[in-house]
Amino acid sequence: MGSELEDLKAKAEQLGALAGDRPEAAKARRLAARLDAGDFLVAVVGEFKRGKSTLVNALVGEAVLPTGVLPLTAVATELRFGPPSARVVYLDGRTEEIDTGRIATFATESNNPQNALGVARIELRGRWPMLEPGAVLVDTPGIASLHEHNTAAGNAALLDADGAIVVLSADAPLSEHERALLEVLRDRRSPTFFVLNKSDHLGKDDLFEVRRFLVDEIGKILHTEVDLFAVDARAALAAASAGGPEGDAQAGIEFYKFSATLAGFIADDLAAARLATARRELARLGASVSEGLAIERSVRTMASGKLQALVERFAAEAEVQRRGFEDDRTLLARDTAALRDAVGDRLADFARQAPREQMAELARASSDLARAELEEGLRQLVEAGVEAAFARERDALLSWVDDQWHQLADRFRANVQRRVDSARDAAASLFDVPLPRLEIPELAEQRDRFSFLFLHVGSVADPLNRAASRLVPERLARRRALAHAGAALVSEFDKHAGRARWDVAQRLEDARLALERAMRDELESSIAAIVEATDRARRWQAEDEEDRAREDQLTGRLERLGTSLVALGATA
């Protein structure tokens, strides 16, 4: 295994040297450095204020990272095993040893706004046994923050990592940004752990529902079963600091299970995971390089004057397709809003009709139940009736929404496919280059499915208890109990229909934004690949014969290396 690691490191170094100023070069050099250091970077990622820094502190058993009420982390901080120390690495390559008490000066948005200090990362070392085999925990800035540069830094840290811990929050499960994050992880196929933090914010029943929902949704996006650890990182850190248990017992058990699972992976599976991740990363870089070179070589021999004119014509055609995409996007937003309104109307009709269908059963129960059982019996009937009716409606509604959304999404994808085809056809015609059709990937069913989160029906015991008071005659108490049960039934249906309406609307909007982003990326990447190739061809044309020969030799070696790297993907 050691020899293969050295071979992969050598390939990464070779790619970093041969790729020149191509974007693949910097990624290859970073990978080579990680392989050389024996590091396995595990990025702790998620939206801002999910408790990522607190979770990292809890994992190492001490509060080494700053935490607080406001979004704090602005710069990635790496925790490694070693003699206790802290070091700032700047974007210009400088390093500075600092006292651990000064970390917040460089790592937080309030002390280092917009990363004005030019910090690339902060490195912390400590005698943390979990990290001794070579794992590095990377506390990242939160995505979807008010500070766009924090989102960019968080995404960059993920793309540079070998594995990930995704931190979700029990009080705000699975936003559009988090779904996009999961899609990136799905494509990378790196070892990933999932944590549901702030589990103390929900009651037992609601936590069960949220957890089940998240496991189902994450599994659909990643195409695999996942474990989700529901923890209270703040209580876990307090317990570690106090040297004893603290907080909710179940959350403490879950944190222990997560910590043990992560430690076991680091101790037993790290070497194999490091190799598999390196193979996949090199294969991706090789494929990217090979495609760029193929386009570049195809247009190198074109006369420079003619090439410039054709580049301008292609830019005009690309702009036509971009404007067309905006028109398509406007239509998608309109159609999605119409679907959202239709969902709202359907749920409103359901909330009006469903209570009528259950009132007869409540009336029978109010007559048949003993007075001592009246309160509890009616309460159970209301709760069971609402949950059962929503379970039936959920399946029918979501099947319908799925079908309607897929029709909209497929139509939008087909429009974007035509725009990509038009851009590539224009390039093929203008530059006389054989460009095969670039098929936009089919929309993954798991990516576009919908569900709504149905939390536990609230107790209706209090009004029924008042209604069943023994201070009134039995017949009057039964009439009042039935009236209150009916009112509770209507209220519960209306409340949960509103919740479901909001939830489905939010997921429709999330899916629309994710689809737009994915399709925009497809269009822009197809345009950018052609523009980049023509730019390189023009630079090649401007060189003298000797420089061209040298460049040809270099790109030939790069082409052969890219082809060999693509083959690594089959063994990853």
Q: Which residues pair with 194 in a beta bridge?
A: 166, 228
**pTM, 2 dp:** 0.54
Q: What is the pLDDT of residues 368-393, one digit of tens each?
A: 777 777 777 887 888 878 878 887 88
Question: Per the structure block, which two tokens stand in for 299?
Answer: 């247009």
The pLDDT of residue 446: 35
Query: What pairing do the DSSP bridges indicate for beta strands 119-126 and 77-81?
Result: parallel
Q: What is the pLDDT of residues 320-359, one digit of tens each?
A: 999 999 999 999 999 999 999 999 999 999 888 888 877 8
The pLDDT of residue 464: 46
In contact, 329 and 408? CB cutoff 8 Å: no
CA 379 vs CA 278, 364, 480: distances in Å:
58, 14, 14
What is the percent of the chain where pLDDT is above 70? 85
69 has a pLDDT exceeding 50: no
152 has a pLDDT exceeding 50: no
The pLDDT of residue 71: 44
Using alpha carbons, select from 104, 18, 109 the residue that is nearest to residue 66: 104
The pLDDT of residue 460: 47
Mean pLDDT of 52-66: 88
Pick the residue with more confidence: 142 or 351?
351
Mean pLDDT of 531-553: 80
The pLDDT of residue 540: 80
The pLDDT of residue 225: 84
The pLDDT of residue 2: 54
Using alpha carbons, select from 518, 526, 519 the residue that is nearest to residue 292: 526
Tokens 């497809």 belong to residue: 522
The SS3 assignment for 90 reads strand
What is the percent of the chain where pLDDT is above 90? 14
The pLDDT of residue 569: 66
Using alpha carbons, select from 119, 107, 167, 110 the residue that is nearest to residue 143: 167
Q: Please state, in angstroms and rounded to a whole number, the distance separating the CA atoms of residues 380 and 504.
A: 27
